[in-house]
Structure 1
Amino acid sequence: MATRRVRGDPVENRRALGDIGNIASLPGAEEAGKLNRPLTRNFRAQLLENANKKEVAKNQEGVRAVQRKARAAVVVKPTQPHEVIVISPDTNEVAKAKKNVTYSSVLNARSKALDIDSADKDNDLAAVEYVEDMYSFYKEVENESKPQMYMQTQTEINEKMRSILVDWLVDVHVKFDLSPETLYLTINIIDRFLSLKPVPRRELQLVGVSALLIASKYEEIWPPQVNDLVYVTDNSYQSKQILVMEKTILGNLEWYLTVPTQYVFLARFIKAAVPDPEMESMVHFLAELGLMHYDALKFCPSMLAASAVYAARCFLSKTPAWTETLTFHTGYSEHELMDCSKLLAFIHSRVGESKLRAVFKKYSKAERCAVALVSSPAKSPLLSSSASCSLEKS
């Protein structure tokens, strides 16, 4: 019976790699088996190189033999009539022709659209080769993480309470100087959680601050500490309560946090608009106003982002308001965006009289071009009386 070795006992006659069965599968294993030293990485690389040289030499000799046979078999024959090859409908050539017909409309649209990625072709982080495929995928899956309209299932909270919570979170987000991605993911987490679970009124702020903690851990290099979040709630909750709620939210969402939020589409669509700083700030201003409004949940993130771009161009009197480049990269026509854009325009028209001022203050500063102080054009098609009447209840 083999004796059990106790830790610390000297190891005698131990062979490094010698008894491991997979050494036999290495090229040059016969020579390696005779060695009395470990098979190091450098030595293994040398064995592989030698084996590869032998294999290459063998292949080259085979190619030369085939060429010799081919030359010996060349015989001049009388001219024969040209053989006509009929391609069946199932061949690759016909399949490619069908594919070209299928994509003809896409290619036509691409030819009219500006190449918005040409300046980034040498930027590896821009992923120019894959960016269009990435955004096609985002649009395919965005509805999987889209929150449902949930207020009918909530007995203690309402739309106004949600707006107050988002307004407070925007203020906290500014104070901590967090990234925009964190804000949009925070609101997405809150709405998805409220879609799944009724929440008492006293715990709504707890849900918000816990969602901010989750989003910060996901997006930020240095997320806020739990004690910092306790402080901003004016000690309304303890650290343990925030951590318990964090676990509850993650459990209900099944840890599904990698989602295409509105900000993902904003980054691409703003680029397609070829913006100036004022227009870019206006787009973000309208998008964040939309975050506060419960009725905006009926629209998917890509449509909200595209509508924010369209509404911003209308407010700043950009002509044309919607271009073929924007149509190509967003996938939406001007007509398709009208309902969502009218909602954003209506929210914008009421921002001056609202008591919720966080977004307004944020975009009233000079570094954001003070776009909150830009009034909506009186003749904007987005402010028609019919649109205002249909949204008055909001």
Structure 2
Amino acid sequence: MASTKTQANYGYCESFFVESYDDTDGIFARAAAERERSRAMSKVQQRHMAADLSRLTSEEYLNDVLDHMEVMEAETMPDINSIEIQTEIQWFMRPYLLDFLLEAHHAFQLLPETLFLAVNLLDRYCSKRVVYKRHYQLVGCASLLIAAKYGDRKERVPTIKELKSMCCSLYDDDMFTQMEWHVLQTLNWIVGHPTVTGFLEIALNETSADTEVQNMATYISEMALYHKDFIPVLPSVMARSSLALSRYVLGRAQVNQPEWAARYDANVVMDLSNQLARPSQALFRKYSSSHLSNVATTLEQFLQRQSMMQAQQTVSQQPYPSPAQSTLDVQQVSGAMMTPQTPQKHVYAAVPIGVLTPPETPEKDFYDNPTYNVNQNLMHRLHACTTVNSAQNVQSYPYSSYPTSYPSQ
């Protein structure tokens, strides 16, 4: 009774050592639930206040941030003329390496901007150093590793062991470390580069756009990575141009306001439209998934409709076309819509799991031979991944032999 009178006079105590003989109505349980509810409401209010402050701050400094990003993108652009004079690296090798980086990026579930940053680091390194064909994939892996460490989640950064496995153990562990260090040293440790993804976010915040438009713009921007003509294009221009083209493909209204997002380059849009016909198969599979709005399938259907409309218009302009002539015209028009094309790898009937791309970039004539046996090529790749001795193929060309291109051991 004394304990009950004490609680009545001084209120309820939360201490474990105070006995309670009159808790039949669950007073303490209701009080604890009320406190938890009030704490949860306070956290929600704090998050809303933080979001509002962040939005107000971003709107206030948006112009300054945008100006800084445009200055940075101009300072961290690769030089295509320097890449042109590479002795062993040829442009037809680029789709092979980008397919490998795309599949590795998708396997590790990295952020979209990591892929654009990795390609930028790769092109900037090739602009300043002589790269040999046997080291081309090694430079790509080092660029992807640096980009993931720079802006991605720590738990998703690929390890050297995983990258070595993807390269079929063609390179040793220390070669990844040396190449990573040499890329950073060559670029003077300037890794930050405003990517297309960052400019897309700013453009989408200024204008109303749904997720499908965003995925389509990213798909077109990644498609442009495969073509050398878009290497000199600034990421800000690429973001606005791909966004304008994606709105046209999806039938969305264009932004006519005098905003930054509406100032796209018509020439870049035209060049992008000429490259939509046949993307890389790896890129097409990636954007055919439902969580990316199936934009690859949507774009393919759009191109088919455009081809049919152009074929019908061509046929209607002829006064008396014969059936043979009509069929020929349709084939010619559909063939014209398919050019220019991204260089494609051969599609094999069965590809072993884990073998993403050839560990060494093949010669051009090797794949252009029409009498090439697919089964023999598949067995050759399997044999190369299991029996290639890295000391014979790589270590016989030590870095010390090429002091202008790679660090000495």
TM-score between the two structures when normalised by the length of structure 1: 0.62
Partner deviation per Cα, 1:99-141 (whole Å, 9 max, x = no partner): xxxxxxxxxxxxxxxxxxxx96443697332122101221233
Q: 2:113 is matched by which residue type in structure 1?
A: E
User: 1:205 Cα shift?
Assistant: 0.2
Task: Identify the residue that residue 286 of structure 1 maps to in structure 2.
Answer: 220
User: 1:201 Cα shift?
Assistant: 0.6
Task: Identify the residue that residue 278 of structure 2 maps to in structure 1.
Answer: 350
> Is the CA contact 1:364–1:370 (under 8 Å) kept in the aligned structure 2?
yes
Determine the C-alpha separation between the residues in 1 that align with 2:52 and 2:224.
33
Q: 1:376 is matched by which residue type in structure 2?
A: F
Q: Secondary structure at the match of 1:349?
A: coil
Determine the C-alpha separation between the residues in 1 that align with 2:287 and 2:57.
28
> Is the CA contact 1:262–1:305 (under 8 Å) kept in the aligned structure 2?
yes
User: 1:258 Cα shift?
Assistant: 1.6
Determine the C-alpha separation between the residues in 2 that align with 1:124 and 1:269.
15
Task: Identify the residue that residue 264 of structure 1 maps to in structure 2.
Answer: 198
> Is the CA contact 2:275–2:341 (under 8 Å) kept in the aligned structure 1?
no
Q: Secondary structure at the match of 2:168?
A: coil
Partner deviation per Cα, 1:292-351 (whole Å, 9 max, x = no partner): 2211112111111111101100101112x2321xx4123725xxx111112222221222
Task: Identify the residue that residue 227 of structure 1 maps to in structure 2.
Answer: 161
Task: Identify the residue that residue 203 of structure 1 maps to in structure 2.
Answer: 135
Determine the C-alpha separation between the residues in 2 that align with 1:393 and 1:168.
19
Q: Secondary structure at the match of 1:350?
A: coil
Task: Identify the residue that residue 255 of structure 2 maps to in structure 1.
Answer: 322
Determine the C-alpha separation between the residues in 1 that align with 2:153 and 2:213.
29
Determine the C-alpha separation between the residues in 1 that align with 2:125 and 2:302.
35
> Is the CA contact 2:118–2:147 (under 8 Å) kept in the aligned structure 1?
yes
Task: Identify the residue that residue 394 of structure 2 maps to in structure 1.
Answer: none
Q: How does 1:150-161 map onto structure 2 within 5 Å? A: 150-161=82-93
Determine the C-alpha separation between the residues in 2 that align with 1:238 and 1:229.
10
Q: Secondary structure at the match of 1:128?
A: helix
The match for 2:188 among 254, 262, 267 is 254
Determine the C-alpha separation between the residues in 1 that align with 2:266 and 2:103.
30
Q: How does 1:105-120 map onto structure 2 within 5 Å? A: none
Determine the C-alpha separation between the residues in 1 that align with 2:72 and 2:238.
15
Which runs of no fewer than 5 residues in structure 2 stay unpaired?
Answer: 1-49, 311-332, 343-409
Determine the C-alpha separation between the residues in 1 that align with 2:88 and 2:78.
19
Partner deviation per Cα, 1:253-278 (whole Å, 9 max, x = no partner): 00001221222211111233311121
> Is the CA contact 1:120–1:128 (under 8 Å) kept in the aligned structure 2?
no
Determine the C-alpha separation between the residues in 2 that align with 1:292 and 1:340.
15
Task: Identify the residue that residue 75 of structure 1 maps to in structure 2.
Answer: none
1:185 correspondence with 2:124:
no
Q: How does 1:1-394 map onto structure 2 within 5 Å? A: 121-123=52-54, 127-149=58-80, 150-222=82-154, 223-319=157-253, 321-324=254-257, 327-330=258-261, 332-333=263-264, 337-351=265-279, 356-374=280-298, 375-376=301-302, 378=305, 392=340
> Is the CA contact 2:287–2:295 (under 8 Å) kept in the aligned structure 1?
yes
> Is the CA contact 1:183–1:212 (under 8 Å) kept in the aligned structure 2?
yes
Determine the C-alpha separation between the residues in 1 that align with 2:194 and 2:77.
9
Determine the C-alpha separation between the residues in 2 that align with 1:206 and 1:172.
13
Q: 2:210 is matched by which residue type in structure 1?
A: D
Determine the C-alpha separation between the residues in 2 that align with 1:120 and 1:322.
27
> Is the CA contact 1:121–1:128 (under 8 Å) kept in the aligned structure 2?
no
Q: 2:88 is matched by which residue type in structure 1?
A: E
Partner deviation per Cα, 1:17-46 (whole Å, 9 max, x = no partner): xxxxxxxxxxxxxxxxxxxxxxxxxxxxxx
> Is the CA contact 1:206–1:237 (under 8 Å) kept in the aligned structure 2?
yes
Task: Identify the residue that residue 29 of structure 2 maps to in structure 1.
Answer: none
Determine the C-alpha separation between the residues in 2 that align with 1:126 and 1:243.
40
Task: Identify the residue that residue 29 of structure 1 maps to in structure 2.
Answer: none
Q: Secondary structure at the match of 1:146?
A: coil
Q: Secondary structure at the match of 2:191?
A: coil
Q: Aligned pair in 2 of structure 1 residues 186, 266: CA closer, same or farther (>3 Å)?
A: same
Determine the C-alpha separation between the residues in 1 that align with 2:138 and 2:70.
31
Q: Secondary structure at the match of 1:147?
A: coil
TM-score between the two structures when normalised by the length of structure 2: 0.59
Aligned pair count?
262
The structure whose Rg is larger is: 1
Determine the C-alpha separation between the residues in 2 that align with 1:127 and 1:181.
20
Determine the C-alpha separation between the residues in 1 that align with 2:217 and 2:207.
10
RMSD of aligned residue pairs (Cα, Å)? 2.7
Q: 2:167 is matched by which residue type in structure 1?
A: T
Flag the structure with more relative contact order, 1 or 2, with Cα contacts below 8 A and sequence separation at least 6: 2
Determine the C-alpha separation between the residues in 2 that align with 1:140 and 1:176.
31
